[in-house]
Amino acid sequence: MTSAPQAAADFVKETAPGFTPRVGIILGSGLGGLADQIEVVASISYDDIPDFPRSTVEGHAGRLILGRLGGMPVACMQGRIHYYEGTDPRDLAVPVRMLKLIGIEILLVTNAAGSFRKKMGPGSLMVLSDHINFTGLNPLKGENDETFGARFFSMEEAYDPILREHLAAVAKELEINLHEGVYLHYLGPNFETPAEIKAFKTLGADAVGMSTTPEVLVARHCGLRVAAISNITNLVAGMSKTKLSHEQTLECAKLAAADLEKLVIVFLETLKRELLKAHLRSTENGND
């Protein structure tokens, strides 16, 4: 029987024959605008992709866009599902595995998050250096599919140090203040209590949100290189008087959206140059 990721990948490949994306991008709450910058080859509703899980959350359009961004062939997911939507955690493996099967080598994940640092307020961007999966859930639970990866695998350097360096260099060039820190995944759908926030601070969290870790776990399991960026929409509960709500998240996601778009586009442009150089070096060495 064809697996769900394979059925989804077959459909996507038939829709855009001959197109091979190298980078997958997952856009978080209120960050869908980046998709408007893509030179579109194909735009596919999640509803049309067989066996593909669909988000019920406002601000998550539910489209897979194939095309070029910063000159790089990309597959961009405009919207994602979350554990709190009640889906089987294993469903969250489908989108990333589909992206792997259609050819991506790098996954760039974005999310909206609350910040534990006063100096990293709404409108800031944070590159993830690591994460704490506080949900107790895992999309890889159950029988292991060896075709994607080994049962047990390391999560050291899950957030690729070289990609993080590239992002930092691009941010510097663009004069964007790019923070770096640890993201804690809280199940949601409620925002945290101030007591939980106090506890998470002692655990080492710099930002908190309700997504990202499932996709990163699935990506690392199948050997994809990963980078992730949080768009900080608020200071965490108890640190400011702002009342937290999804509307507040969507509204404040706009603050750093332009910086995030520039950062991602120039990052992809430099990545394309680097990949080209590496390819040329390998052909010069007769490895092609």
- The interface with ligand HPA within residues 194-223 (CB under 6 A) comprises 208-210
Q: How, if at all, do strands 207-209 and 106-115 pair?
A: antiparallel
Active-site residue flag, 234: yes
- If binding is defined by CB under 6 A, does position 112 make contact with ligand HPA? yes
Listing DSSP states for 125-187 in one string gives: EEEEEEEEETT---TT-SS--TTT--SS---TT-S-HHHHHHHHHHHHHTT--EEEEEEEE--
**Residue (of 61, 147, 53) closest to 93 by Cα position:** 53
User: Does 249 engage in binding with ligand HPA (CB under 6 A)?
Assistant: yes
Tokens, residue 182: 């640890």
| 191 near ligand HPA, rule: CB under 6 A | yes
Nearer to ligand HPA, 207 or 227 (CB): 207
Stretch that binds ligand HPA, among 67-75, 120-128, 169-177, 229-237 (CB under 6 A): 229-237
128 to 81, 137, 246: CA distances (angstroms): 20, 20, 22
Structure token pair of residue 287: 């490895």
How far apart CA 235 and CA 267 sit, in angstroms, is 27
Candidates 84-92, 112-120, 121-129, 174-182 — which segment interacts with ligand HPA by CB under 6 A?
A: 112-120
Options 16, 77, 112, 171, the catalytic residue: 112
* Min dist. Cβ of residue 183 to ligand HPA (A): 10
Give the one residue of 186, 216, 229, 268 binding ligand HPA; rule: CB under 6 A.
Answer: 186
What kind and span of H or E run contains 83?
none
Q: Is 159 one of the catalytic residues?
A: no
Do 266 and 176 meet the contact criterion of CB atoms below 8 Å apart? no
Give yes or no: 124 in active site: no
Candidates 18-26, 111-119, 148-156, 265-273; binding stretch for ligand HPA (CB under 6 A): 111-119
Minimal distance, residue 100 CB to ligand HPA, in Å: 27
The residues annotated as belonging to the active site are 29, 60, 82, 84-85, 112, 210-211, 234, 246
